[in-house]
Amino acid sequence: MPKRIILVRHGESQGNLDTAAYTHIPDHKIPLTEAGRAQARETGAQLRDLISSDCGNSTNTWRVYFYVSPYDRTRSTLREIGKAFDRKRIIGVREECRVREQDFGNFQVAERMKVIKESRERFGRFFFRFPEGESAADVFDRVSNFLESLWRDIDMSRLHKDPSNDLNLVIITHGLTCRVFLMKWFKWTVEQFELLNNPENCEFRVMQLGAGGEYSLAIHHTD
């Protein structure tokens, strides 16, 4: 069993800085800003320190396995985070389409999206489906499918062959996808989901394996 499953939202993107970018750049091609790259490097150092902090002077040979959404901003976040880790610590990197961003349709016209998002607030954020796109419920379905595959891989030791090493899974994804992942895992209700906000750019959530074999959300404070 992985010692930790860590969900990371991508760094600041051009779309976070200026939503007009979505009117002429496909969502999957929206790049990180320079600030976003710096955020990712800082997060990489934080993750490395977190993972190695409980090893002390032991010979613990912890390892990291990365999953990443196929969007440009998540791929770039992974590249910057990966710089914090020795190559021997990284035992796998897998691009996973099922943890991609919610599909909001194709090119996003600003005024139209404003009206659509107002409708979403009235309808309910979980079940509202964007025209030509997805609802959060649709994202829930594909994330659920991903989790089934993930558990099969874990059960069959496809990700990690040496049980003496601590395995840490790091999933670099998007804000809503993080929330939906946690909703599925911890069996949160739709009402609980709709009270949640996205993590900030490059903020992460740590699911820690407990003595009883179950995961809980760990709280970590940074300066």
Per-residue pLDDT of the chain (223 residues; tens, 9 = 90+): 899 999 999 999 999 999 899 999 999 999 999 999 999 999 999 999 999 987 654 557 899 999 999 999 999 999 999 999 999 999 999 999 999 999 998 877 878 888 998 998 899 999 999 998 999 999 999 999 999 999 998 888 778 777 778 999 999 999 999 999 999 999 999 999 999 999 999 999 999 999 888 999 986 544 4
The β-bridge relationship of strands 167-173 and 4-9 is parallel
Q: Which residue do the tokens 């800085």 mark?
A: 17
Alpha-carbon distance of 5 to 14, in angstroms, equals 28
Instruction: Give the pLDDT of residue 94.
Output: 96
Domains contained in the chain, number: 1
Q: Could you tell me the two tokens for 186?
A: 């911890």
Instruction: Give the pLDDT of residue 174.
Output: 99
52 is in an annotated binding site: no
Residue 173 lies in a domain: yes
Residue 124 lies in a domain: no
9 is in an annotated binding site: yes
- Rounded to whole angstroms, what are the CA distances from 221 to 49, 203, 204, 205, 206? 12, 11, 11, 11, 12
Instruction: Give the pLDDT of residue 55.
Output: 62
Q: Residue 78 is part of a domain; what is its CATH number?
A: 3.40.50.1240
Question: What letter would DSSP give residue 212?
Answer: T
Q: Could you tell me the two tokens for 24?
A: 């002429």
Query: Structural domain of residue 200, as residue ranges?
Result: 4-103+135-218
Instruction: Give the pLDDT of residue 219.
Output: 65
User: At 24, phi and psi to the nearest 5?
Assistant: -135, -5
Alpha-carbon distance of 40 to 45, in angstroms, equals 9
Question: How many residues are given for the chain?
Answer: 223
Instruction: Give the pLDDT of residue 223.
Output: 46
Instruction: Give the pLDDT of residue 221.
Output: 47
Provide the angle, in degrees to the nearest 10, between the axes of the packed helices 175-186 and 136-155. Answer: 60
Residue 115 lies in a domain: no
Residue 202 lies in a domain: yes
Q: Could you tell me the two tokens for 198?
A: 């996205």
Strands (E) across 10-121 are located at: 63-68, 90-95
Let me know: does 207 contact 217? Beta carbons within 8 Å. Answer: yes
Residue 113 lies in a domain: no
46 is in an annotated binding site: no
Residue 18 lies in a domain: yes
Instruction: Give the pLDDT of residue 162.
Output: 78
Residue 181 lies in a domain: yes
Question: What letter would DSSP give residue 64?
Answer: E
Residue 114 lies in a domain: no
Question: What letter would DSSP give residue 133?
Answer: S
Of 198, 215, 214, 197, which Cα lies nearest the Cα of 206? Answer: 215
Catalytic residues: 10, 101
Instruction: Give the pLDDT of residue 109.
Output: 80
The β-bridge relationship of strands 167-173 and 63-68 is parallel
58 is in an annotated binding site: no
